[in-house]
Structures are given as structure tokens and as C-alpha cells.
Amino acid sequence: MTSNYRSLSLISLFAALMGVLGLIPKIDLPLGVPITLQTLGVMLAGCLIGSRRGFQAMALFLLAVALGLPLLSGGRGGIGVFFAPSVGYLLAWPLGAFMTGWLMERLPRATPRQSAFSAAAASAIGGLLVVHACGVAGLVAVAKLSWTQAALGTLAFVPGDLIKCALCAVVVHTVARGLPGWEPGRKQA
Amino acid sequence: MIGTLYSERPTWLHRWAAGSKLLALSIFTTALFTLESPRALIPAAMGAIAVYVSLGRTGPTGRRPVVAALIAVVLLCGFHALLGQPWVGASSALRLLGATCLGVSLTLTTRFDELLRVLETLFEPLQRWGLASKRLPLMLALMIRFTEHFFVQWQKLDEAYRVRTGRAGGFRILAPLCIQMLQAAHRVADALEARLRP
């Protein structure tokens, strides 16, 4: 029973982390897609609370945004944001967190250093590849770009997101050292 | 305190039930994204824009998302015009602008709790498959409370770092913030269990 409440509080808490990261100003790129720190929240959720809870935390956050809370960076929110060209990136957050967590649960994490390397790899695949793949699909569907054009457009985000992967690894390393009982990506806390 | 994008200034759309507005939005946006013919798409998009305009002065919360959509639309149209396919650009622009106007109109005229009640009703059948829809309000309340709490924590950590080093904390304080969050999650889980366990 405790793990249910623990899951509930962890899910709410990591959805809140997304809100906190959204309070940091965004940078707008051409085609209406903003660079935000919130993708770091996607990576952290997957690495620190696992695949299932990471997915649920991101879904809860998107639900709160759809209900009208101005939690996306730049104070954006409401159902209207789901019709923008960046919708693919937004809807990819739960999938990205799930994939990051799924990989993190399977990669070695016996020591803080191993955890950090695993977090970097998991977040590069889940938080970067999955999110960008869905983002590109969104650009193709909504903005009617070709796959090549959309893929070229999304490349502008990759350097920033690689930095976020490294940052995620540093955070996971510090958490693994600071909370020795905590296993990043553990299914049951 | 995190506010919502709801506008207190009454309009004709405020009188509609949240469920009806959501249903209308779903039907209209599905239509917008499936229509291909300019004869149907142009009046549909104009209708959606007219709904938004009919709400009158919506203030910055209502204006900002539409302005952002307009910027995206201009860029899209320019991009497709450069590629020699102006109608593709124009049709995407009409869909985007129409759907955004409807979405913003819904957000401005519907209270957070009304939308939440509609979602709870919609999700109720999913309880059979283990989705605890009754827990949604609690989770949303916790999320809002935690967002404020951890933003204050972020500021405190930043201040402490600034006092020690004379520089802003930046991303260095993200790890201690995460540790605080994970510790808080244990305390909150214990408190929830003590209070809610049947």
C-alpha cells in the first residue's frame, strides 16, 4: 500500500519539477518550436523514478497544461498549445520518459559512476531520440513539412539536448551519491 | 500561487457547459484537420477565428497564444511559399490558427475544476483497467503545491549559493533540488498513507 502512495507522490512531484523547469525562460526558434529546459525534466523523470511512473508524471503534467494551467515555459498552457507545430514534442514527453526509464532499469547502475553513464545513454535515447522522432512526426503532420525538412529543422535542438543529457547524468550521479539508498530507475521505491 | 488561464470577464461562451465545449472542440478540430478542400477549410477556419474574436478583449493571457500561433503561421507560409507550394502553407496555417483560436477560447471560458469534472467522468470507465481517475484531483493538487514549493526551494538554494560564491547557482542547484524532492516524496507518501489509508 505504501508503494502506491509513494508512487502517487513521486508522480506528482516530478510533474511539479516540469513546472519548475518551465519557469525558466524559453528561447524561440523558427517554425514556432521553443527550446526549453523541460526536456531535461523528461530525462530526469525517466532516470530517477523509472519508466511507468515517469510516463505517468509526464501525462499528469500534460493533463494539467491541457486543463489550462500556464505551466509550459513562457507561461503557456491550455488546450491550444496541442495544436501548435511543436505538438509532437509535447506528446512525446511521456514516451520519452518511459523509454529513458525502461533503459535505465536495464542498464548497469551498481556505482554512482555507472548510474551516471547509464543515465547519459538512457536520456540520449529516450529523452533525445524518441522525443525528436515524435517531434519530427508532429512537424510533418501539422506543419506539412517533408520528413527531411522536419529532421533538418529539429537538428538545431540536438546540441542543446546533448548538454541536457550530460546534465542529467551529473544530477543522477549526485543523487546516487547523496541518497545511497536510492536506486535510480527502481520500479518500487 | 499558480493561476489558471481562465478569464473572469463573462462572455457568451462562459454559459456553455464544459462538456459541450469539449465535444464541440473535438468535432471542429477533427473536421479542420481532415478537410482538404479550400472551399470547406477557409469558412471552417474563419468560423473558429470568429468564435475567438467574438469573446472581445481577452487580455494578454488570451492574446499571447494566438500571437505565437500567428508567428508560426507566418513562418510556415513563408517557408512553403519559398518551396513553391503556397496552398500547402496556407492550408496548414488555416488549420493551426483555427484550432488554436478554438483551444484558447475553451481555456479562457472554462474553469479548471469544470474541465477536471468532465475528465473524471470520461475516465471513470477506465477504472476497470486500474486507472485511478478519482485520484486525479489529488495528484493535480499535489503537483500545483509542489511546483510552488520547489520553485521557492530553487530560489533559496540559488540564494545560498550566491552568498557562498558571489555567483548565480544556475544548473548546479538542480541536483540538490532533486535530492530534496525525492526526500520530500517519502515524507508526503507517509503523510498520505496516514491520512488516506482506509
Beta-bridge partners for A76: A72
Domain that holds residue B92: 12-196
Residue B35 DSSP one-character state = -
When pLDDT is averaged across residues B125-130 and rounded to a whole number, the result is 73
Q: Does B179 touch chain A (CB under 8 A)?
A: yes
Decide: pTM greater than 0.95. no
CATH fold group of domain A2-178: Arp2/3 complex 21 kDa subunit ARPC3 (1.10.1760)
B71·A32 Cβ contact <8 A = yes
Chain B residues in contact with A12 (beta carbon < 8 A): 139-140, 142-143, 146
pLDDT class for B130, splitting at 50, 70, 90? Answer: low
Counted domains in chain B: 1
The backbone region for A75, taken as left when phi is positive above 0, alpha when psi lies in -120 to 50, beta otherwise, is: left
Q: Residue A1's pLDDT is what?
A: 47
> Which of A9-18, A120-129, A177-186, B38-47 has the weakest average pLDDT?
A177-186
> Residue A189: is its pLDDT beyond 50?
no
Q: Residue A153's pLDDT is what?
A: 84
Whether the Cβ atoms of residue B107 and residue B61 lie closer than 8 Å to each other: no
Q: Residue window 71-110, chain B: list those with CB within 8 Å of chain A.
A: 71-72, 75-76, 79-80, 88-89, 91-92, 95-96, 99-104, 106-108, 110
Nearest CA-CA partner of A67 in B136, B8, B131: B136
pLDDT class for B85, splitting at 50, 70, 90? Answer: confident
Is B6 a member of any domain? no
Chain A residues in contact with B5 (beta carbon < 8 A): 68-70, 77-78
CA pair distance B144, B2, nearest whole angstrom: 7
| Three-state SS at B105 | helix
Task: Print burial letters for A53-86: b (CB count within 10 Å at least 16), e (below 16).
Answer: bbbbbbbbbbbbbbbbbbbbbbbbbbbbbbbbbb
Q: Residue A35's pLDDT is what?
A: 64
pLDDT: which is higher, A168 or B126: A168
Q: Residue A41's pLDDT is what?
A: 93
Q: Does B21 touch chain A (CB under 8 A)?
A: no
Measured CA to CA in angstroms, residue B121 lies from B38, B125, B132, B139 at distances of 37, 8, 12, 16
Residue A33 DSSP one-character state = E
Measured CA to CA in angstroms, residue B45 lies from A66, A139, B57, B64, B128 at distances of 21, 20, 20, 19, 39
Nearest CA-CA partner of A153 in A165, A168, A142: A142
> Residue A32: is its pLDDT beyond 80?
no
Is B1 a member of any domain? no
| Three-state SS at B49 | helix
pLDDT class for B2, splitting at 50, 70, 90? Answer: low
> Residue A26: is its pLDDT beyond 90?
no
Residue type, A54: G
CA pair distance A187, B24, nearest whole angstrom: 40
> Residue B194: is its pLDDT beyond 80?
yes
> Residue B146: is its pLDDT beyond 90?
no
Read off the pLDDT of residues A76-135 as tens digits, 9 standing for 90 and up: 888 888 888 889 999 999 999 999 999 999 998 888 899 999 999 999 999 999 999 999
Is B166 a member of any domain? yes
Q: Residue A15's pLDDT is what?
A: 93
Is B186 a member of any domain? yes
Whether the Cβ atoms of residue A62 and residue A81 lie closer than 8 Å to each other: no
Read off the pLDDT of residues B58-75 as tens digits, 9 standing for 90 and up: 777 778 888 888 888 888
Q: Residue A98's pLDDT is what?
A: 96
Q: Residue A89's pLDDT is what?
A: 93
> Residue A184: is its pLDDT beyond 60?
no
Which three cell numbers, joined as nine digits, stand for A144?
506539412
> Residue A2: is its pLDDT beyond 60?
no
Is B2 a member of any domain? no
